[in-house]
Structure 1
Amino acid sequence: MLFRELVAPRTWLGAAHLLLDIAFGFATCLAIGCWLLASAVLFPLALIGVPVWVGAAHLSEVLGRMERLRYRWLLGEEIAGEPLPSRSGRLLPYAGTLLRDPGVRRRIAHQLLAFPIGLVTSSLVYWVITLGVVLLLMPLLGLMLPTSDGAILGLDISGAGARLAMAPIGAAMLLAVPWVVRGLVAADVAAARALLGPVPGSLTARVGELERSRARVVDSAESERRRIERDLHDGTQQQLVSLAMTLGRARSRYRTEPTGIGPLLDDAHQQAKDAVTDLREMIRGLAPPVLADRGLDAALSAVAARCPVPVDLTVELEHRPPAVVEAIGYFVVAEALTNVAKHAQASRAAVGVRSGEGSVWITVSDDGRGGADPAGGSGLRGLADRVSGVDGQLSVDSPVGGPTVLTVEIPA
């Protein structure tokens, strides 16, 4: 396992990225620093200093784009950029807009900090790898490179025992390289996302989140479609074929032995009942007719009644929400109560639905064992994906030992 991590491509791509940090950091820090210094010195001369500042902001945007390409090529990390404000009107107001823009300031801060950060990351990776290789090969180096004072890189290699003792230390350092690289890459990517990525709450960040939500919803819908196709083909279709064959045998026997078709009819009847049961199970993820006919209150009452755990249901809606909101609310409650019945070991659950502040709020709680983690189960992740597809929010509060409270806000 350790050796596999050491030779994994992602380890050495990450190491290459970190070793390049110092070169890219020096180049970007020098370029942006010179432009900023020139704009500050020439700022009293507005006709010169203002265009220099605007040029520095545009140069920073180009360098940020190059940095994001490096993260994509070497690490596979997609970092969306915050675009420059569009220019409208004269140069001086535009320069002020650039100066006030948080995306410009954060990007320039990253480029000024890139050199000291790169100095740390590149040095750590370089010395861990170099010392690991040198110590591992120390027995061989001591024979091939004899020195007058018996030392290499300040290490005493005059004795064969000392040289042999250094080899395990070098091996341990090399085996630690993947974890060092992984930690430094994680910190580097976090800094890049914070300073090179979209400003939280900006239109770019919002669009990026909506694109990711749409992709998750499309994937979820495609998975559901494949499930229905597979269940129809492998289950219901085969049952109906078997039912047709049984009825065909009954019809053939009826012509010659009318009184002997009873067992065949009983078998066909059971097959028909099984097919109906499987169809109901297959379409469990589809919205029931009662939801469209009578609304969320009646549909959730049916869900609560079927739940093995006693459920206290409260629905307080001023107006009937849109159909898509009702459908998502129904699926959220149905899946949440299924999770309660399967995993929570709860004696009671409560569901509350209310409207307010332009949203529908859904709360599902239970007195079970707790410990629910959205990152650790596909059920809660699927709910989060479904809710985020309509710009909603899902949060889970589930300490170990309980209780668990799931809260969903769906814009209405």
Structure 2
Amino acid sequence: MTERSTSGAAAAEALPPPRAALSGTTWREIVHLLLNLPLGIFSFVCAVVWVFAAALLSVTVIGLPVLAAGLTGMRALGRWERGRARVLLGLRIEEPSPLSRAGGAGFFPWLWRTLSDPVGWRSALFAVIRLPWGVLTFAITLVSLFVLWPLLPWLARLLTQVDRVMVRGLLSPSDGLERRIAQLRTDKETVTDTASGDLRRIERDLHDGAQARLVALAMDLGLAKEKLTEDPEAAAKMVDEAHGEVKLALQELRDLARGIHPAILTDRGLAPALSALRARCTVPTTLHTEIPHRPAPAIEAIAYFTVSELLQNISKHSHATQADVELWRTKNRLLIQITDNGQGGATTHTGTGLKGLADRLNSVDGLLLIHSPPGGPTTITIELPWRDPQPTHTHTRTDNGSER
């Protein structure tokens, strides 16, 4: 009995100590590190073949399309790597914005958008540098599994921290840069569409209004000229009617010019221009302005046409009997608040007027807030960036004619 006990104790001493159990987080990090090598080889080969093919075909017309197609594939690779980091490393990174549709549909707009995509290029860089790092992490992790087991949790955490830094640095949105670029592209499209709509409106107003009236006026004057010798009284009557048509045509042209950019806004500023606008509103309106000096001309124009459109909406749809317009400056923002005691229910979800107005304000970093419960009253607040006008260089002339 004593000999058996002694031999059993000796055998127990000869066995290696039991390995400490690893947590689920550590096992996921180990799997991630072991996958770095095969995935690194795959992505590196794809990147090298793609760049080599694009370089060989650069002398042909398909060189750039191959380069763009490869960038699209690199973007997909980056999406896959973000998913792997999310599952195995618990690293949650927002997806970069998809490629914008700015520039329209078609092959060449797509080609330009893809070649200028920073997400695709950074994903390609990630694919290249991933291979040497994958070789290192695979070797260290494999050795640690059989030799350095007690140190494995700390080594796995250290190595995956480097992985996390690489994924954050190369595969995450650059502090919202891509989203800002996409937003700017959308704003550009909005401004372009608005400008095109305004040009079509001006063309329609000229064609259907002043132009048609001037054509009729020319025809009337031609008839009056023919009757001048035969029937002077009829010719004089026709000239008198033509004179009235001239006045109406001039009034239409003045209204059209005022709709493009009112002269009073350029000459005297926002407060006098809004005062003239208030006087033409069919709903009694009060105006309070507290702005120390004039903002940039572009901001003045946007504020003027915004108030003009909102007052027109009040006149047409609100059934209000009183409206108020207030303007003031807070730090670097111009604030406008318009209230009316109408029936309420104003929203950007129905119709296109307020929705288009909100889009136009958003394109210049502005904001439109609406509080309009059913039954009223309605309060609409507009925020615009206060941009001081650019300084202009003035020259004064001395008595001897020189400028200073």
Short-chain TM bin: 0.5 to 0.7
Question: One-letter code of the match for 1:350?
Answer: D
Shift of 1:345: 1.0
1:338 aligns with 2:327: no
Question: One-letter code of the match for 2:262?
Answer: P
Identify the match of residue 324 of structure 1 among 282, 287, 298: 298
- 1:387 alignment partner in structure 2: 361
- Contact 1:210–1:391 (8 Å) recurs in 2: no
Alpha-carbon distance in 2 for matches of 1:246, 1:65: 75
CA deviations 1:145-192 (Å, max 9, x no partner) are: xxxxxxxxxxxxxxxxxxxxxxxxxxxxxxxxxxxxxxxxxxxxxxxx
Distance 1:338-1:102 versus aligned 2 partners, 3 A rule: farther
Distance 1:336-1:245 versus aligned 2 partners, 3 A rule: same
CA deviations 1:208-256 (Å, max 9, x no partner) are: 1221111011111101111211222233222111111211222232233
1:41 aligns with 2:30: yes
CA deviations 1:51-109 (Å, max 9, x no partner) are: 89x99x9986243899999xx9xxxxxxx99946988x9988864434667975xxxxx
Moved more, 271-280 or 389-398: 271-280
When Rg is computed on C-alpha atoms for both structures, the one with the higher figure is 2
- 1:108 alignment partner in structure 2: none
Shift of 1:276: 2.6
- Contact 2:371–2:378 (8 Å) recurs in 1: yes
TM-score (normalised: structure 2): 0.57
Distance 1:247-1:38 versus aligned 2 partners, 3 A rule: farther
Identify the match of residue 63 of structure 1 among 58, 74, 80: 80
- 1:97 alignment partner in structure 2: 165
1:349 aligns with 2:323: yes
| SS of residue matched to 2:228 | helix
Q: Which has the higher helix share?
A: 1
1:304 aligns with 2:278: yes
Identify the match of residue 236 of structure 1 among 200, 205, 210: 210
| SS of residue matched to 1:256 | coil
Q: Percent identity?
A: 38
Alpha-carbon distance in 2 for matches of 1:61, 1:390: 33
| SS of residue matched to 1:255 | coil
Alpha-carbon distance in 2 for matches of 1:294, 1:223: 28
- 1:5 alignment partner in structure 2: none
- 1:212 alignment partner in structure 2: 186
- 1:30 alignment partner in structure 2: none
- 1:358 alignment partner in structure 2: 332
Moved more, 270-279 or 400-409: 270-279
Question: One-letter code of the match for 1:349?
Answer: A
Distance 1:65-1:379 versus aligned 2 partners, 3 A rule: farther
- 1:369 alignment partner in structure 2: 343
Distance 1:283-1:295 versus aligned 2 partners, 3 A rule: same
- Contact 1:246–1:268 (8 Å) recurs in 2: yes
- Contact 1:393–1:410 (8 Å) recurs in 2: yes
RMSD of aligned alpha carbons: 4.2
Question: One-letter code of the match for 2:165?
Answer: T
Moved more, 251-260 or 211-220: 251-260
Alpha-carbon distance in 1 for matches of 2:165, 2:356: 41
| SS of residue matched to 2:381 | strand
Count residues with an aligned counterpart.
272
Alpha-carbon distance in 2 for matches of 1:202, 1:314: 39
Alpha-carbon distance in 2 for matches of 1:355, 1:226: 34
- 1:279 alignment partner in structure 2: 253
Distance 1:38-1:277 versus aligned 2 partners, 3 A rule: farther
- Contact 2:290–2:329 (8 Å) recurs in 1: yes
**Which residues of structure 1 form unaligned runs of 5+?**
1-35, 73-79, 105-197
Shift of 1:319: 2.5
Distance 1:255-1:291 versus aligned 2 partners, 3 A rule: same
Alpha-carbon distance in 1 for matches of 2:81, 2:192: 31
Question: One-letter code of the match for 1:261?
Answer: A
Alpha-carbon distance in 1 for matches of 2:258, 2:350: 23
Shift of 1:263: 1.7
- 2:396 alignment partner in structure 1: none
Matches within 5 A, 1:146-161: none
- Contact 1:82–1:103 (8 Å) recurs in 2: no
